[in-house]
Chains A and B, each alone.
Chain A
């Protein structure tokens, strides 16, 4: 510890910098956008729970939600990727996008067995499939068309909702930590 601190002192002396930065600075847009996306997800889960017919719960009815949240997440990822020393947040947003892709696959009942590494890679590289079909290239177990009538198993809702709370809660928690003690001054 002592050696590390002395090294840092000399690093500062020779580089001429007055402080070091290991993690990006607080970004208000990331904080607000992550909160906004989380709100959309919460509203979606409430609508799913309150729905009284399969038509209301169907993927076809929810398609605009997937398109909207997917676009918002992509835009936020692009913004986060352009911020200096922000790899932790971009990693978190990638995980959030993966989970949205899995939610869409669950909703369309596109997964029929154990997830393979090929499927995981497809989800990671292709992102959310907001189409009405199941497509192997997006991580589905098989290519199937016209899946708009599929409904999300209601038993999944509490767990899935909790998972997204944790994911976006982590994004927001890290962003708030980047304020670096500003909250303690209030």
Chain B
């Protein structure tokens, strides 16, 4: 292990993980931005239908509940995309230093 420069390894991993996150986060942000608009639009539609008397109060309550569930499903997708981005960043970091670590150890560990 003495052949491994911890500062060099850490810096290489940090650079690789940052690059991976920067590549992935815009996709998550784009998805969330689009879905947030759809969610807001549906909430507005429900409110309008209720005010116009086209749906009953009970129907409005159920629609709101259904929209809340749909919003939760969207947030779970965003959470998963974020976790995948982090996962890729960590794996990119590990991949970035595999040559250094494996070379120092003399066998392929990572």
Contact = CB atoms under 8 A, between A and B. Distances in A.
Nearest to A154: B54
Contact of A22 (B27, B35, B65, B86): B86
Contacts of B56: 153
Residue in B6, B54, B70 whose Cβ sees the most chain A Cβ within 10 Å: B70
Nearest to B71: A166
Chain B interface size, as a band, is 35 or more
Q: What is the interface of chain B mostly: helix, strand, loop, or mixed?
A: helix
A118 B69 CA distance: 17
B39 A177 contact: no
A98 to B, nearest CB: 5
A34 to B, nearest CB: 11
Interface in A154-171: 155-156, 158-160, 162-167, 169-171
A5 B13 contact: yes
B62 A115 contact: yes
B14 A5 contact: yes
A166 B39 CA distance: 8
B14 to A, nearest CB: 6
B88 to A, nearest CB: 6
A6 interface: yes
A85 B31 CA distance: 22
A71 interface: no
B80 A177 contact: yes
B35 A13 contact: no
B59 A111 contact: yes
Contact of B59 (A21, A106, A177, A180): A106
Contacts of A92: 73, 76-77
Chain A contact residues: helix, strand, loop or mixed: helix
A180 B101 CA distance: 25
B110 A5 contact: no
Interface string A56-96: 00000000000000000000000000000000110110011
Interface of A: 1-2, 5-6, 8-9, 12-13, 16, 18-23, 88-89, 91-92, 95-96, 98-99, 102-103, 105-106, 111-115, 120, 141, 153, 155-156, 158-160, 162-167, 169-171, 173-174, 177-178, 180-181
22 contacts: A2-B10, A5-B17, A9-B94, A20-B87, A95-B69, A98-B69, A102-B66, A114-B61, A153-B59, A159-B46, A159-B49, A159-B63, A160-B63, A163-B42, A163-B66, A164-B70, A167-B70, A169-B74, A170-B35, A171-B73, A177-B27, A177-B81
Q: Which A-B residue pairs are the 5 nearest by beta carbons?
A: A155-B54, A170-B77, A170-B73, A166-B70, A174-B77
